[in-house]
C-alpha cells in the first residue's frame, strides 16, 4: 500500500477528527475565484473519484500554491468548523491543540519523511509554538492547525513554517523566532597546513554530556553552502539541532581550498564573522 501523502494526511485527518467531508475541505482550501481553482472544484463536485485521486491524494510535486486560498483565512475557517463539530468552547480548542500537537503532527511528519521532506523542520516549528509567548489555548490551537494545513496542502514544511511566521508577525504582533546568539571568538581558527583539495566535511550533533550522535550530516560542496538552524528557509540545511538553536544560526560553505563558517544571527556582523573551519580527517 502506497504511503500517504502530506495532502492525504491533511484531508483524511480533518475528515476523521473534524467531521468535515473531503469536498467541504476542498472548498475551503482551494481558491474558487481563480480559473484553475473553479475548474477543480467543479470537477470535484461532479466526480468523486476525481476528488479522491487528484485533490486528496495529490503528490508533493503536484501541490501548486496557485490553487489555494490564503492559508491563514482557511485555517481560521477550518478551526471554527472543527470547533463547532466538537461542541464549541475552550474544551474544543484544547482538543484541537492537543490533536494537532500530538497524533496529527506525528502523522504529518511521517508522511513528510516518507517523501524525503524535512520532518525535523516541522518538529522544530512545533517546539517554537510550544514556547510561543501567547498562552491562550485558542491561539496555540490555531498555530498548530495552520502549520498542519499549510504544510499538508503544499507538501512543503518550509512554506508551512513561513505561513505561521507571517501570521504571528502580522496578526498577533508576536515573534515566532528565537533569541539569537553569536559565534564566540574562540571558534575562529586557521588551518594548520594548506591543502590542495579541501576534504569532505560532515557534522555530528553533540549533547550536554559530550556524547555525539552517530549520524553524520554531510556539508554540501556547492558554493551556496549549508545552513544550520531550527527553521532555515534555504536548502540544503541541517535541522537536527537543540530546542534553543537559532532559526538560522550558521552557514558553512566551501570556497577554493578552504571551508568557512558564518554566523547568521547579526546581519551587520556577517562579514567579520567569516571564519575557517578545521577539517575533519
Residues 129 and 246 in one domain: no
- Is the domain of 241 the same as that of 205? yes
Q: Is 203 helix (H, G, I), strand (E, B) or coil?
A: strand
Residues 122 and 108 in one domain: yes
Domain end among 146, 172, 198: 172
- CATH number, domain with residue 224: 2.60.200
- Per the structure, the complete domain to which residue 39 belongs is given by 6-172
Q: Taking the CA of residue 202 as centre, how many other CA atoms within 13 Å lie in the half-sphere pointing to its CB?
A: 9
Q: Which is nearest to 137 in space by CA: 167, 101, 163? A: 101
pLDDT in tens, the chain (281 residues): 457 999 999 999 999 999 999 999 999 999 988 888 888 899 999 898 999 988 999 888 877 788 899 999 999 999 999 999 999 888 999 999 999 999 999 999 999 999 999 999 999 999 988 887 655 888 899 999 999 999 999 999 999 999 998 888 876 555 565 444 444 444 444 444 455 567 777 776 666 655 556 567 778 877 778 888 888 877 778 888 877 778 788 888 887 777 778 787 654 333 333 333 334 44
CB atoms near residue 205 (< 10 Å)? 16
pTM reported for the whole predicted model: 0.70
**Same domain as 107, residue 44:** yes
Per-residue CA distances from 216 to 146, 175, 204, 209, 241 (Å)? 32, 32, 5, 18, 13
In-domain check, residue 105: yes
Q: Using CA atoms of 139, 25, 89, 138 in order, give the dihedral in degrees to the nearest 10.
A: 0
Same domain, 152 and 245: no
In a domain, 58, yes or no: yes
Domain contains 1? no
For the chain, what's the residue count?
281
Q: Is residue 74 part of a domain?
A: yes
Q: Indicate the SS3 state at residue 38.
A: helix
Nearest-angstrom CA–CA distance, 84 and 90? 11
Q: Does 145 share its domain with 31? A: yes
Same domain, yes or no: 146 and 72: yes
Distance CA 68, CA 18 (A): 20
Say whether both 94 and 193 belong to one domain: no
What is the residue whose three cell numbers read 590542495?
Answer: 196
Tally of structural domains, the chain: 2
- Boundary (domain end) residue, out of 149, 172, 195: 172
> Is residue 191 located within the same domain as residue 167?
no
Q: Which of 116, 149, 172 is the last residue of a domain?
A: 172
Spatial separation of the C-alpha atoms in residues 144 and 137, rounded to whole Å: 11
Amino acid at each position: 500500500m502506497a504511503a500517504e501523502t502530506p495532502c492525504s494526511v491533511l484531508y483524511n485527518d480533518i475528515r476523521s477528527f473534524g467531521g468535515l467531508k473531503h469536498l467541504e475541505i476542498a472548498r475551503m482550501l482551494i481558491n474558487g475565484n481563480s480559473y484553475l481553482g473553479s475548474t477543480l472544484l467543479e470537477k470535484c463536485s461532479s466526480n468523486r473519484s476525481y476528488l479522491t485521486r487528484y485533490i486528496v491524494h495529490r503528490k508533493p510535486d503536484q501541490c501548486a500554491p496557485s490553487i489555494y486560498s490564503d492559508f491563514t483565512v482557511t485555517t481560521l475557517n477550518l478551526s471554527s468548523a472543527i470547533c463547532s463539530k466538537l461542541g464549541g468552547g475552550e474544551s474544543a480548542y484544547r482538543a484541537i491543540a492537543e490533536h494537532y500537537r500530538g497524533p496529527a503532527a506525528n502523522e504529518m511528519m511521517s508522511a513528510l519523511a516518507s517523501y524525503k521532506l524535512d520532518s525535523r523542520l516541522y518538529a522544530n516549528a512545533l517546539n517554537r509554538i510550544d514556547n510561543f509567548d501567547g498562552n491562550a489555548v485558542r491561539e496555540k490551537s490555531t498555530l498548530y492547525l495552520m502549520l498542519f494545513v499549510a504544510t499538508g496542502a503544499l507538501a512543503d514544511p518550509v512554506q508551512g513554517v513561513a505561513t505561521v511566521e507571517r501570521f504571528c508577525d502580522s496578526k498577533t504582533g508576536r515573534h515566532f523566532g528565537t533569541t539569537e546568539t553569536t559565534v564566540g571568538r574562540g571558534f575562529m581558527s586557521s588551518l594548520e597546513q594548506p591543502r590542495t583539495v579541501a576534504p569532505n566535511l560532515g557534522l555530528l550533533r553533540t549533547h550536554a554530556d559530550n556524547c555525539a550522535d552517530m549520524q553524520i550530516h554531510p556539508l554540501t560542496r556547492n558554493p551556496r553552502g549549508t545552513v544550520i538552524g531550527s527553521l532555515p528557509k534555504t536548502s540544503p540545511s541541517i535541522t537536527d539541532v537543540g530546542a534553543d538553536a537559532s532559526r538560522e544560526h550558521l552557514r558553512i560553505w566551501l570556497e577554493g581550498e578552504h571551508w568557512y563558517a558564518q554566523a547568521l544571527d547579526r546581519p551587520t556582523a556577517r562579514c567579520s564573522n567569516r571564519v575557517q573551519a578545521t577539517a575533519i580527517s
